[in-house]
Amino acid sequence: MTRLRLFSAAGAALAAGCLVFLNLLSSQFHLRWDLSAERLYSLSPGSERILRELEDPVDVRVYFSKQLPPEYSASRSYVKDLLQEYRDTSEGHLRFEFVDVESQDGQREALEAGITPVEFNVVSREKFELRQGLMGLVLRYEDKKETLPILLKVESLEYDLTSRILRLTRRSRKAVGVLSSHGALSPESLHPRVRELLERNYDVRPLDLRGLTRGATIPAELSALLVLGPTEELQEGSLYAVDQFLMSGRPMALCLDTRRVDLRSFMVSSLKTGLEPWLRSLGFTLRADFVLDAQCQKVQVSQQRGWFAITNILDFPPFVLSTDLDKAHPVTRHLNSLTLPFVSAIEGSAAPRQGQATSLVRSSRFSWLKTAWGRGLVHSINPMQGFTMDKEDLKGPFDLMVEVQGPFTSYFKTSALPRSAPGARFILAGTSRFAHPDMPDSESGAVLLLSLVDWMLLDSDLIAIRAKGSVFRPLREVGNPAAKAAIRWLDILGPAFLIAVFGAARFRTRRSLSRRRAEESRPREPRDA
């Protein structure tokens, strides 16, 4: 008995020693396997490349309170694991330290660094209280500093860290011009978060093209041009400046609307931007009617019925939800879906007169064009009406966004630059409303807008990092009614049937086992000598 106890104690001590050794080993070596789709929990290749190119150290000081609500306490571990990956990938050039913010000196340092205290509602059985906490970090490189005052959304933490490291280590920033005249969406009209991200990485300059005479050009220090939905017609001088910008070989993104939309009355009227003849010279035309798609975004519509307000959630076909995206292009490669409100079809992308076109975003096979709308100047898009396809309507899919690579020929015969631009490129989109902050699913629109600017300025690494986590996988449409009914009843009765089969099999097994035990326990008759 004593010998058995010694062996048991030695085995327990050996197991405990193995566990301690494995814990020490895991604390020194950081290793894990990411089996998620698109490696959502691993560093992007862009982050790895930027970290490996660090020449001087980047110091990160993290300010995280220990007494946080459960939904935020896990963020501290996530931040620590991510920073360990940054440190290992950078081969020690990135260093980090968690500051003890429970002490008075730590709190003072955090407040001086710009970390914003956050108030949390803490509910327990005995009481309800408001509690303050710190969740932020500061990056320092040479004599420069970047602050992340609040880390509430850890899903975008990799992009926030890598973009700030890139901003700290980059010697100069490229300038992008955003058309702010002719009723276009200016930088000040963008969502504050989007404008902040743009200005963090680039020099964003509003561009006024009013009153230009023919011969005037866009400043040479602008590396790219972004045009978001002008509502007034560009005159010859402004059009000449845009044409010469493309002829200079600098990239541009044109997100154009073909109709005015009044969301209060749901009435649509015609719109001319002055860019139509210039686009036709390149071989492209934006249709005047909207694309309608059964695969669409839902909207919430409220109606007043006497004393009551009735709210309905309806499918709205003019808000096209596209999942047919070019997975090879840096702008759309990491997007799973994209909502394009009031988008027009692009014609001519299959065989443009100039350049080589690539379709980036297409509507689904359930989309169509309302031919009658293209003939009229004014029509209604009230969500309460029935959006149905008539016999004369054109059936999709349609091109909604294309990229075009040169060579191009100038629209003007008296071009100041060579009339041919072989290396020029631009992206054409049939709507600009995805960039409006008040549109549904504005998050995917913001990702697209930022990706367009990154594409123009060749920061493709940031595109891949930003789009991680943007996942939408719609169910495949089942057209056969009999198949739909079979799937529905299988969903209803299938789990109950499986549980019944498992219970019957379990009951049969237990009964067989009971019989066997009863037979084994039955006394056996003595054999005759």
**For 2-11, what is each residue's pLDDT tens digit?**
655 555 666 6
Residue of 219, 215, 193 lying closest to 205 (CA atoms): 219
Which of residues 116, 132, 162 is at a domain's end? 162
Average pLDDT over every residue of 282-303: 86
Domain-embedded: residue 501? no
Same domain, 111 and 88: yes
Please, what is the angle between helix 192-201 and helix 442-456, to 10°?
20
pLDDT at 266 over 90: no
Q: Does an H or E element contain 288, and which?
A: strand 285-293
Query: Is residue 252 in a domain?
Result: yes
Q: Are residues 209 and 142 in the same domain?
A: no
Phi, psi of 277 (to 5 degrees): -65, -30
d(CA 319, CA 343): 8
On whether residue 529 sits in a domain, the answer given is no
- Round to whole Å and give the CA distance between 350 and 332: 19
More confident residue, 188 or 167: 188
CA distances from 460 to 136, 267, 321, 359 (A): 27, 39, 24, 18
What was the pLDDT predicted at 391?
84
Say yes or no: 146 and 284 in one domain: no
State the residue range of the domain holding 364: 175-293+320-466
For residue 188, what is the DSSP state? G
- Evaluate the CA torsion angle 249, 255, 258, 262 in order and state its sign: negative
Mean pLDDT for the chain overall: 81
Distance from C-alpha of 295 to C-alpha of 345, rounded to nearest angstrom = 16
Provide the domain count of the chain: 2
Residues 380 and 458 placed together within one structural domain of the fold: yes
Q: What is the pLDDT of residue 445?
A: 85
How far, CA to CA in Å, does 528 sit from each of 218, 337, 420, 525? Answer: 116, 84, 114, 9
Whole-structure pTM over 0.95, yes or no? no
Residues 363 and 272 grouped into a single domain:
yes
Check whether 151 has a pLDDT greater than 60: yes
Residues 446 and 377 in one domain: yes
Judgement on whether residues 285 and 391 belong to the same structural domain of the protein? yes
Q: Which of 221-230, 261-270, 412-421 has the least mean pLDDT? A: 412-421
Domain identity same for 213 and 66: no
Minimum mean pLDDT range among 159-173, 207-221, 488-502: 159-173
Identify whether the C-beta of residue 261 lies closer than 8 Å to the C-beta of residue 342.
yes
Report how far residue 434's alpha carbon sits from residue 335's, in angstroms, rounded to the nearest whole number.
14
Whether the predicted pLDDT of 459 surpasses 70 = no
C-beta of residue 297 within 8 angstroms of C-beta of residue 440: yes
Amino acid found at 311: T
83 neighbors 60 (Cβ within 8 angstroms)? yes
Per-residue pLDDT at 254: 95
Residues 191 and 131 in one domain: no
Q: Which residues contact 240 (CB under 8 A, 6 or more apart)?
A: 212, 214, 215, 216, 412
User: Would you state the pLDDT for residue 209?
Assistant: 92
Q: What number is the average pLDDT over the span 12-18? A: 75
Per-residue pLDDT band at 172 (split at 50, 70, 90): confident
Same-domain pairing of 258 and 336? yes
- 507-519 confidence digits (pLDDT tens): 888 888 888 877 7
In a domain, 512, yes or no: no
**Beta strands 58-64 and 135-141, pairing class:** antiparallel
On the question of pLDDT at 167 being above 70, the answer is yes
Q: What is the pLDDT of residue 424?
A: 84
* Residue 342 forms part of a structural domain: yes
Q: In this structure, what token pair is assigned to residue 291? A: 């694309």
Which is nearest to 54 in space by CA: 84, 80, 89, 29?
Answer: 89
Last-in-domain residue among 414, 439, 466: 466
Digit-coded pLDDT (tens) for 327-345:
878 788 778 888 999 999 9
264 with 202, same domain?
yes
Residue corresponding to tokens 């975003």? 361
DSSP summary character for residue 283: T
Residue 181 shares a structural domain with residue 245 = yes
The pLDDT value given to residue 373? 73
CATH number of the domain within which 266 lies: 3.40.50
Alpha-carbon torsion (42, 44, 47, 48), positive or negative = positive
Using only C-alpha atoms, the chain has a radius of gyration, in whole angstroms, of 31
Residue 455: what pLDDT? 87
Question: By the 8 A CB rule, do 156 and 447 touch?
Answer: no
Q: Is it true that the peptide bond before 407 is cis, omega within 30 degrees of 0?
A: yes
pLDDT at 501 over 70: yes
The CA angle 149-155-158, to the nearest 5 degrees, is 70
pLDDT in tens, 97-114: 998 888 888 888 888 888
Tokens (6 digits) for 375: 């003939």
Asked if the structure places residue 157 within a domain, the reply is yes
**pLDDT score at 128:** 62
Q: What is the mean pLDDT of residues 207-232?
A: 91
Task: Give the pLDDT score at 376.
Answer: 63
pLDDT at 177 over 90: yes
Per DSSP, helices labelled H in 230-318 are 236-247, 276-282
Domain end residue (candidates: 466, 484, 503): 466
The domain that contains 151 carries what CATH number?
Answer: 3.40.30.10
d(CA 448, CA 432): 11
What's the average model confidence in pLDDT over 127-148?
82
- Cβ neighbour number for residue 272 with a 10 Å cutoff: 13
**139 band by pLDDT with thresholds 50, 70 and 90:** very high
Place of tokens 């988008």: 343
Query: How many angstroms separate the CA atoms of 51 and 85, rounded?
Result: 10
Residue predicted with more confidence, 346 or 13: 346
Q: Is pLDDT of 82 > 60? A: yes
| 322, pLDDT greater than 80 | yes
**For residue 157, what are the contacts with CB-CB under 8 A and spacing of at least 6?**
78, 79, 82, 151
What percent of the chain has a predicted confidence (pLDDT) above 90?
Answer: 23
Query: Does 179 fall in a domain?
Result: yes
- The reply to whether 19 falls in a domain is no
